[in-house]
Chains A and B, each alone.
Chain A
Amino acid sequence: MKKIIKYVLLDLLRNRIIIAFTVFLAVISFSVFNLEDNPSKGILSLLNLVLIIVPLVSIVFSTIYVYNAAEFIELLVSQPLRRVNIWLSIFTGLASSMCVAFLVGCGLPVLIYAPTDVGLMMTAMGLLLTIVFVSIALLASVLTRDKAKGIGVAILLWFYFTLIFDGIVLFLLFQFMDYPMEKPMVVFSCLNPVDLARILILLKLDISALMGATSAIFSNFFGNQWGMAATVLIMIAWAFTPLWWSVRKFNRKDL
């Protein structure tokens, strides 16, 4: 398995997109921190980068990579190798290189300029989100044979998690305004890794008071250590359920 990971990483390095992504993240992060005097304002600006751009790049790049590696995968499958190992190696290669890109491009500036709880939390969430979206990308690419369709599905999933899901939640909130919605909201937010990450980061920032009554429930649930641990577990489940499903699909896939 190590050997396959090695070749996946070599291939990714030759690809240069990951390096470009690292530079892009670094340029944005450093300029944001240099423009703002107050590092926590900088963190707030970076929040959208972490919650929107990082998932987008992770999911789209990974999907395209898997489709482009079709020849490589075909070659490997005809060799004495376990399919599970091939697939997990591709996942490990992709996820680790995207994580390193995020860590160098965004985590490093954050830890230099704002080495606070918030900064740490944001770096951790960024890493988790990267893994979650790489794993969703692998699922999308194993489920559809057609490249254009697969990339379309990946972009739609990203849309769903960053925009459509929030729309649905807002809609439900307005429909059931007369009822206490605070507790169901906690459950809803567990259905979306991006929301979970956002809540955890915002709760670390002082502005969480702005969210009103829901915030009180949220800080009750997510604020304490058990809630935090539970959330991180849910995030990890978000990373590994799609991966597990994609492994099952890949095991039976015709190449």
Chain B
Amino acid sequence: MIIATNVTKRFSKLTVLDNVSATCNKGQTISLIGPNGSGKTTFIKCLLGMVVPDSGFITFNQQNIAHNWLYRSNIGYMPQIGRYPENMTIAQVLDMMKDIRKHSAGPLDEELIQLFKLDGMMNKRMGTLSGGTRQKVSASLAFLFNPDVLILDEPTAGLDPLSTEILKDKIRKEKQQGKLVLITSHILSDLDDIVTEVIYMEEGKLRFHKSLTQLQEDTGENKLSRAIAHVMAAAK
């Protein structure tokens, strides 16, 4: 569904992405793992066209995404740090997004808005929200349009345990509907039971891309966090 081929990105002298190639297919739940600054977020931003790669290309459903914008209507994106116009209220942001995306195919998925109890504070301004509430808004927006692909950048950072569970349940639900879910997260224990594939990145390079079962076999560890720790230790 998404195929990245030899994507390279430099910010002045720093090479953030170094020849990254990856294939992501429908129905998979892929976890992007790697130390801080390994290029996970930049890779995600490349997929969304927010960062333009220096070389290499990315295709979405066999179409090159460069100079293309319509493909983004199939993606729900939850940024690491959700930044919204400070003056707008939650309701206004939601209305604006609905207005802009001209949603036509099927009903809106407002389940998360209800589960996160956002409808009670629709008139609060974005500038006054706490980090966690902002994450809830970001998550609700990502799922709102029933997209085929969900890209979640650190979805559970800043969420309380209860909300984390709600979000994980929601991800599981979407996964069962055969959607492609891309998650980056530091909190590996969150991912154990959701993830089917693991992409491990380090210093802008893609170290490996394996299925979870394969990784468990290779490392002899059952838990994802232990397996990754094993890989990181072996690399040193």
Contacts and interface: CB of A to CB of B under 8 A. Distances in A.
B101 A79 contact: yes
Contacts, number: 57
A254 B51 contact: yes
Given A78-B72, A80-B70, A255 B96 contact: no
A74 interface: yes
Given A71-B83, A255-B50, A81 B100 contact: yes
Contacts of B96: 7
Contacts of B77: 78
Interface in A70-89: 70-72, 74-83
Contacts of B48: 77-78
A82 B69 contact: yes
Interface residues of A, number: 24
Contacts of B73: 80
A78 B45 CA distance: 9
Contact of A80 (B45, B51, B87, B101): B101
A117 interface: no
Contact of B100 (A76, A252, A254): A76
Nearest to B126: A71
Contacts of A72: 84-85
A206 B50 CA distance: 55
A83 B87 CA distance: 23
Interface string B65-109: 000011111000101000111111000000011011100000000
Interface of B: 11, 45, 48-52, 69-73, 77, 79, 83-88, 96-97, 99-101
10 contacts: A71-B83, A71-B84, A72-B85, A75-B84, A78-B77, A79-B72, A80-B101, A82-B69, A83-B69, A254-B45
